[in-house]
Amino acid sequence: MRENRLKRQLEAGETVIGTFCILPSATAMEALGLAGLDFLILDTEHGPLTIETCEDLVRGAECGGATPIVRVADNRPELILRALDIGAGGVQVPQVGSREEALRAVRGAKYAPIGERGVSIFTRAGGYVGTPDHPQRCNAEQLVIVHIEGVRAVENLDEILSVDGIDVIFLGPYDLSQSLGITGQVDHPRVRETLVTCTERARAAGKFVGSYAKDAEMARWLASIGVQYIATLVDAAAIALFYQGLVATIRRGG
């Protein structure tokens, strides 16, 4: 497992910018990295991506200089293991709402003595031939990112934060808005207050904090409250929005 540049950036206190990816194109991943994004979240929860597709997307992201992160579809050890074995720089686990669910994510992502991840050094993460220190390097370099996406998770946040092995607490504003009964209103004062208080609690517990920004203004606000790991837009949506604007500008003649 190679050194994780994204983790070094977070440890240095930098704010890192990425996006969610559903396009099954290594070329697109390389271009996004070359555009300056720090990380790319390969989304197997809400998109068509498979683990086979993701392996090439990991390569594409690395070619462009971005750290590939795989969001698994569920908090299951076999999904987490496969995402990390293809050489991803980390795994994002959705809908973590309790200490036990956080422990399950860590057990699936980390080798002993931290977790229970099945050992094979003959993987892409192990350079296919592996080295004796492969488990230790993966434990040290691959990020574990858990999603806090509902009222239950917020209520149990202190217990989740007590789990060793979690690197980033990712606050999902859209799911939080749904859980609060104001679906889609991510600028609502109740959503913003929840993001602020959860960020403060997570940082106090020594965890990095991540979240999603719908636009640059929201991204800047998230950074101002201490969120370091900011994902904005989705690759397919960014393309559609760009061309919508371009076509509208051309048609109106200026």
129: domain CATH number? Answer: 3.20.20.60
The reported pLDDT for the residue numbered 121 is 84
Asked about 46 being catalytic, the answer comes back as yes
CA atoms within 13 A of residue 54's CA, in its CB half-sphere: 34
Per-residue confidence band for 120, with pLDDT thresholds at 50, 70 and 90: confident
Query: Which whole number is the average pLDDT over 25-43?
Result: 98
DSSP 22: -
The reported pLDDT for the residue numbered 254 is 57
Lowest mean pLDDT among 31-35, 110-114, 127-131, 244-248: 127-131
**Does the structure show a pLDDT above 80 at 253?**
no
CA distance 63 to 168: 24
Match 């409250």 to its residue by tokens: 225
Instruction: Tell me the per-residue pLDDT of 47-81, one tens digit each, with 9 for 90 and over.
Output: 899 999 999 999 999 999 999 999 999 999 999 99
Closest by CA to 140, choosing from 170, 168, 110, is 110
* Cα angle 76, 80, 83; round to 5: 145
What does the longest C-alpha to C-alpha distance in the chain come to? 64
The reported pLDDT for the residue numbered 68 is 98
CA distance 103 to 250: 53
Strand 39-43 versus strand 143-148 pairing type = unpaired
Per-residue confidence band for 3, with pLDDT thresholds at 50, 70 and 90: confident
**Does the structure show a pLDDT above 90 at 218?**
yes
* Cα angle 134, 135, 141; round to 5: 85
Range of the structural domain that residue 47 is part of: 5-252
- Domain total for the chain? 1
**Does the structure show a pLDDT above 90 at 204?**
yes
H or E segment and range at residue 71 = strand 67-71
Tokens of 155: 């209520």
Query: Which whole number is the average pLDDT over 126-131?
Result: 86
Buried b (16+ CB within 10 A) or exposed e, 130-168: eeeebbebbbebbbbbbbbbbeebbebbeebbebebbbb
